[in-house]
Amino acid sequence: LSRSAAPSSYRVFDPPTATIEPVEAPRWFVAVPRSLQEASEQATRSVTGALRAGERRLLVEASLAEFEPTGTRFRFLELLAFTQQIGLAMLERTDLFPPARPHAKLLFSAMSDATLAGGCIQYNNLPVATLGSQSAMSARDGAFIVVAPRVSGGPPQKQAEMQRRLELAVCDVLSSAGSRPVVVVNPRFGASAAVDACQTAYLVRPLSVSFLQDNLAHEMSKGSACLLRCYPHMWSVMVDWASSGDWSYSGRFSSCPAPAQLEEIVRTGLMRERFKGQPVTEVAVEPEQ
């Protein structure tokens, strides 16, 4: 792969290594990422593992503030670097990219995003296009990465129709790609049965925890939790009761848990680890803002 110097305004991650040595991350799949780079390495390892296992429709949910396209702290270039690292790792799989199909195409829902990405990415085998355009899918594409598809702008009365059209465009890629892999990263256009049917290769979802130890407490105490899934491992819940960066394992699920299940496992962890068996009267678990 050829690469020229990237614009100074864009931080390009170094190409991923093939593996993370056990000495560095003996239990990498239950380690809450402490940086965007760590999240990228975790996601890359999870996606490539799913591809090796034969999965071809993958979902990546990285709900970190800088990667969250609907949040106020969203940084498009950080998400682009995250996606680029996944794409580069995919391109190392020569069995997925024969000479006739050397490209892993990045697809965006907005022309402005595609234009910015095209100016930043310095790899010839990572072309960009807009969903629904004539160039969205071509015979030379060996895989597709749909990046943060979402509806932004437009009058409120047209939002539902815009979301419907966007879902159709994403579904068209999922259905038309055939045996070629499709990775959907941080979709934000409402419920979609087609996206829900994708295998979750990677999920990291920071959570805020509020709790009362007993009825005599006057204020809610604050802590942190994180739902983490790294293919092929289970959905793990990690907790940090004091939000100090000291994470501990609380429990796991065989599939993505419902909010009530998350609250219950956090409540159980509070009783076991922090309050030594004493009852906890109130627990609230919400997405971190």
Which one, of 220, 207, 144, 134, lies nearest residue 178 by Cα?
144
Stated as kind and residue range, the H or E segment containing 166 is helix 159-176
* pLDDT for res 211: 76
Radius of gyration of the chain (CA): 20
Look up residue 162 and give its two tokens.
């815009």
Rounded CA separation 43/31 (Å)? 12
Q: Taking residues 278-288, what's their average pLDDT?
A: 65
pLDDT at 259 over 70: yes
Angle between helices 76-91 and 111-120 (to 10 degrees): 60
- Is the backbone peptide bond immediately before 232 cis, with ω within 30 degrees of 0? yes
- Measure CA of the first residue to CA of the last residue in the chain; give whole Å: 38
- The predicted model scores a pTM of 0.86
For 80-106, the pLDDT digits (tens) are 999 999 999 999 998 999 999 999 999
Closest CA to 38 of 226, 208, 183: 226
How is residue 130 written in tokens?
Answer: 């807009």
pLDDT higher for 251 or 277?
A: 251
Interval 2-35: pLDDT, tens: 333 333 333 443 433 333 333 344 588 889 999 9
pLDDT category at 276 given cuts 50, 70, 90 is low
Which ranges constitute the DSSP H helices of 71-140?
76-91, 111-120
Cβ(3)–Cβ(122) below 8 Å = yes
